[in-house]
Amino acid sequence: MIGLDTNVLVRYVTQDDPVQSPKASELIESLTTFTPGFVSLVSVVELVWVLQSCYQSAKSDIVTVLETLLRTRELTIEHAEIIWQALRRFTASKADFADCLIERCAHAAGCEYTATFDLSAAKAAGMKRLT
């Protein structure tokens, strides 16, 4: 298994760097089910953040990228089922992906609820706002 840092994923997805993008493509396209790539939960969150903040990617494009990663047999995604749950919530609401993921991780850990001061996270991601 080969770990994939966020910057490798970004270069592969965006294909915007004439030197690094081909290297990222070569590595990712060489992965197999016997020698898969590993994508950590942190890399997934960073990827979404970079696509939103640096590339102004549309929500629908981010959803497509995450669905593709999650469905790729040559990739092992850390906590894939929790990411799927967060992605469904992200798709169906106005919540940030990170908020959806935080709430779903807490739920998976058996938390009664996820406390937040963020009103929008409480409304959209199903957290409980502290007042």
**Sequence spans of domains, the chain:** 1-78, 87-131
Higher confidence at residue 37 or residue 119? 37
CA angle 54, 103, 126 (to 5 degrees): 105
* Confidence (pLDDT) at 85: 97
Per-residue pLDDT at 99 exceeds 80: yes
Q: Comparing C-alpha atoms, which of 34, 49, 37 is closest to residue 99?
A: 49
- C-alpha distances in Å from residue 3, one per residue of 7, 8, 38, 46, 51: 12, 10, 5, 15, 20
Q: Model-level pTM?
A: 0.92
* Confidence (pLDDT) at 51: 98
- C-alpha distances in Å from residue 10, one per residue of 5, 39, 52, 106, 124: 9, 12, 11, 27, 27
Each residue's pLDDT tens digit, 19-73:
999 999 999 999 999 999 999 999 999 999 999 999 999 999 999 999 999 999 9
Per-residue pLDDT at 124 exceeds 90: no
How far is it, in rounded angstroms, from Cα 77 to Cα 36?
10
